[in-house]
A and B are shown apart, each in its own frame.
Chain A
Amino acid sequence: MQDVIVAPAPPAATPQPPRKRRPFRKTAEPFGFLAPTLVLMFVLMVIPVVLVVGYSFMDNVILTKEPEFVGVDNFVTVLTDGVFLTAIRNTLFFTISSVVAHLVIGLGFAMLLNSPLIGTVSRAIFRALYILPWLFTAAVIAVLWRMLLAPNGVVNFLLDTDVEWLASPALALGTVTFINIWAGYPFFMVSLLAGLQGVPAQLHEAATVDGANGWQRFWSVTIPQLRPIIISLTLLDLIWTSQQFALIWMTTGGGPVNVTEMLSTYTYKLAFSRYEFALASTSAVLVLLMSMVLAFFYVRHQRAED
């Protein structure tokens, strides 16, 4: 299951009475309530981000006491590393394929569940079944699919094939992407189902009266109504999926020969397999920059919605 980023709706500022000087105690009070949060955020976020950005311009960090400033050398090294470029390509493929498939499958299932042609009980049952993949953590999903996709596993039996799904250089990237698609669509489905239930029935009726068929109603009523949700979900999923580590690490570990290497696994290996903490920090800063670009669009979109 993924961490959830929700509702950045800033609390509505209370309408202010004409400015009066408030006594110090009044101003200090909310900071008293915020103090533990501010301290934790400073220790867990501000300091680490400053450190990692600092490390990215140094050498010999963490492991030795004498780091030296090397300017942008690390950035040159990382950006010209063929494996880093492969990792970017793989991350792009993995992320975009996953997000598109999450959206298509999530919307398809949400529309099936929202169909007026099925009863309440069957809707509840199917919804529970469809949510299932989402309730398992990445470690469980990884071992489950490793069993299913083993050379003598049940998938090869059903397809009458004899394929090393996760070990073949030609198939591994597609396979981990498929597993991620299976694991991640329910978040879209749940949110889109809630969205579909909020589409006013009159809109569909009006479109029907105007002679629109099902396909036309889908494109001219359903999709425009869901657009804000779809944009939010897509941006959130782009952020999460591009950061995916656990699933890749436990299925392929980035192999075979880097064909499933992602930015996350590449960075992890630099730090904790090769102990190149400075280079790892550089890679981590680049990943941070990409996430911040996506987060910027997400926050801006949410603001616009408010």
Chain B
Amino acid sequence: MPKTRTSTPADGSVRTAPRPRSKIERRRSRQRVGVVIGLVLGAIFAAAPVLWMLASSFKSNTEIFEFPPRLITDNFSFDAYTAIFSDPEKVQFFVNSYVVSFSVTTLTLLVAIHAAYAFSRFDFPGKRPINMVIVSVQAVPPITLLIPYFGIVVALGLYNTYPGLILTYMVFTLPYAIIMLTGYLNTIPKELDEAVRMDGAGSLTALWRVLVPVSVPGIVSVGVYTFMIAWNEYLFALTLTRTQDMRTVPIGIQLLMGQHSYEWNEIMAMSILGSVPVLVLFLFFQRYFISGLTSGSVKS
């Protein structure tokens, strides 16, 4: 920041202001201008493409590449959205994505909460190595697993079925869910469930009657994240399904690119609709979401 030599403030307020603004105040206001310019440029970089996608979904297909391009065109309409909702094949993409994502979320939470309970409340031989395996599993590249999965899924007759996708997605969601839920259970005082166990209730009762109810925020945030991973998955959905009626939304979007002529407005509408669940979840659970995400990489 260069130092100004003149004593007159840039805005000329010296004549009306009873006391001249201090050097520090002037520097502050110049800094503020810099920050605001930076923020606005950043916002354009981040949000303009998204805005263009939204605007394009309301255009007619010919208007998308009109010259010069306009954000809002004459034929503003919801036609692209209507076209998607009235095509059973495209609605099926959404049905598939919801079935798979909800199943993965439910199963992951059910399996993970028990594993997290074991890690958080019990000592057992092999605890550390098992934990290490679960952590490092997350770094295994999906492409490495895909080849044997393809063989296994075909051999088990799960190719092109919901269970094939649901089962394989759990390799991504389960480690994350276990680690996060273990962390969450560790924050809950042991006395709480030990008291119940002292009273003669079994461990399972202590988990479901005491720990699960007080862990709802943690379970919800892990559930949201699990849902998103499943909703967004591409590689396995591409490879482990074959027929149009089994495809999920990300593959559906890609299929629209290939079909007949490019219906860009429909592709954009589909992209918006395909992003709505994640956007809504993020909107409602932003706080949990960000704290859950950063808890790993950020140490207080």
Contact = CB atoms under 8 A, between A and B. Distances in A.
A154 B46 CA distance: 16
B12 interface: no
Interface in B34-64: 35-36, 38-39, 42-43, 45-47, 49-50, 52-53, 56, 64
Given A135-B279, A140-B274, A245-B234, A7 B296 contact: yes
Interface in A39-98: 40-41, 44-45, 47-49, 51-52, 55, 61-62
B297 A52 contact: no
Nearest to B45: A182
B271 A144 contact: yes
Interface size class of B (residues with CB under 8 A): 35 or more
B68 interface: yes
Interface stretch (A166-174, A191-199, A216-224): A191-199
Given A138-B232, A148-B49, A190 B294 contact: yes
A271 B146 contact: yes
Contact of A51 (B143, B148, B279): B148
A271 B124 contact: no
A46 B257 CA distance: 37
A48 B145 contact: yes
A148 B130 CA distance: 47
B297 A11 contact: no
Interface stretch (B15-23, B74-82, B149-157): B149-157
A228 B111 CA distance: 32
Contacts of B167: 44
Nearest to A142: B254
A291 B139 contact: yes
Contacts of A305: 299
A147 B96 CA distance: 26
A161 interface: no
Interface string B234-247: 11001100000000
B159 interface: no
B182 A11 contact: yes
Interface in B59-100: 64-65, 67-69
Contacts of B65: 150, 152-153
Given A191-B294, A280-B147, A291-B139, A7 B180 contact: yes
Contact of A294 (B139, B176, B293, B300): B139
Nearest to B290: A190
Contact of B274 (A118, A139, A146, A245): A139
Contact of B143 (A55, A118, A145, A284): A284
Given A30-B122, A144-B49, A245-B143, A41 B298 contact: no
B147 A126 contact: no
A264 B65 CA distance: 33
A288 B96 CA distance: 30
Interface string A112-145: 1101011000100010011111011111101111
A29 B122 contact: yes
Interface string B196-236: 00000001000000000000000000000100110110110
Interface in A12-56: 12-14, 16, 27, 29-31, 33-34, 36-38, 40-41, 44-45, 47-49, 51-52, 55
B140 interface: yes
Majority-rule SS of B interface residues? helix
A130 B114 CA distance: 37
A210 interface: no
B295 A44 contact: no
Interface string A202-239: 00000000000010000000000000110011001001
B209 to A, nearest CB: 15
Nearest to B173: A3
A153 B52 CA distance: 11
A246 B278 CA distance: 18
A284 B144 contact: yes
B251 interface: yes
B142 interface: yes
A7 B295 contact: yes
Q: Which of A1, A3, A14, A233 is most buried by chain B, counting CB atoms within 10 A of its CB?
A: A3
A90 to B, nearest CB: 15
A163 interface: no
A3 B144 contact: no
Given A41-B134, A138-B250, A264-B143, A143 B257 contact: yes
Given A40-B174, A126-B43, A250-B257, 18 more contacts: A7-B183, A12-B186, A33-B114, A34-B114, A45-B137, A49-B145, A51-B148, A52-B144, A62-B151, A135-B282, A143-B254, A144-B268, A182-B45, A187-B293, A198-B300, A214-B1, A280-B147, A291-B139
